[in-house]
Amino acid sequence: MGAKKSILIYCSDTQNSIEVANTLRDKFEKEGYCVETDFAGDEREDSDLLDGTLSDRLKLIVCVGGDGTFLGAVHHFNFPDVPFLGVNTGHLGFFQEFMPDQLDLLIDNYKRKKYTLQDMQTVRAIVEHDGIKEEFTGLNEIVVKCEENYSVHLNISIGDKFIEKFSGDGILIATPAGSTAYNYSLGGSLVDPRLKLLQVTPIAPMNTTAYRSLTSPLLLPPDLGLGIVPDNGGSKGRIAIAYDSFSRTFDKLDSINVKLSDVEVRLLRFETYDFWAKVKSKFI
């Protein structure tokens, strides 16, 4: 028999989030649950949490904050097997299931197992530079763009077929979960999360007598990857790879291969959850 697993409450560093997190901890403890807290602003060493045995110790990670806090937690815990649950103290809260005035309802539903687990796909970029390969994973998206205020020129292939030389601000590759984020601001489609696909959305594609780029988003099936080879001769600036709220810049970059990843993030959704109702309540 293993030790009793605990619930970890991870929260953003706003006063409101910290108060909500503390209230939630007290309520869970009253119900007999073991609770740990982790405040995103703290410098605390989490190496004990990150040694690959997270799911042996934790049964749930509750994120108190906005979508940004949730994305931060997913990366902080390195895409764990442990399911997440969100409480929205942020602005939009697309991932966040409950509001701070619903904590009793949250605990009641959790105790009575009145929830389903939503498995969310992630997207992975393998970046080749200086003779090495590095991997970056996003729950929302991967973005390839110029760090400075220049256009980028990217040779794009799908599978092994060359499709186009893209010129413009960059390319965004969104998961279904990320379709409602940056992708949506770019005119990309909202994707029902039950679909398994990647959406490739151009960012400010150029169409002049000098450059020709596809202007609409493309949808790719799960087994097809996107290959990007920057035209280093034709590009002036440095290329940045963004993965959710994080990014890295490269002086010279040989190739980027983007595909759906095997890693999934699991989110608790309660009986009232419906993707299209959420779209209506958040966007319209």
Whole-angstrom CA distances from 63 to 123, 231, 235 are 21, 41, 40
CA 175 from chain centre, in angstroms, equals 8
Site size for ligand NAP (CB under 6 A): 19
Pick one of 66, 86, 168, 188: the residue that binds ligand NAP (CB under 6 A): 66
The pair of structure tokens assigned to 19 is: 């108060």
Minimum distance of ligand NAP from residue 50's CB (angstroms): 21
β-sheet bridge partners, residue 226: 158, 258
Under rule CB under 6 A, residue 113 binds ligand NAP: no
Q: Shortest distance, CB of residue 245 to Mn ion, whole angstroms? A: 8
H helix or E strand, kind and range, residue 26: helix 15-30
Q: Which of 38, 67, 169, 244 is catalytic?
A: 67
Cβ atoms within 10 Å of 51's Cβ, excluding its own: 10
Binding stretches for Mn ion (CB under 5 A): 66, 68
192 in catalytic set? no
- Return the number of the residue (92 or 103) whose C-beta is nearest ligand NAP: 92
Choose the one of ligand NAP, Mn ion, none that binds residue 94, judging by a C-beta under 5 to 8 angstroms depending on kind: ligand NAP
CA dihedral 50, 67, 249, 164 (to 10 degrees): 120
List of residues contacting ligand NAP (CB under 6 A) = 66-68, 71, 90-94, 140-141, 177-178, 180-182, 185, 244-245
Catalytic amino acids? 67
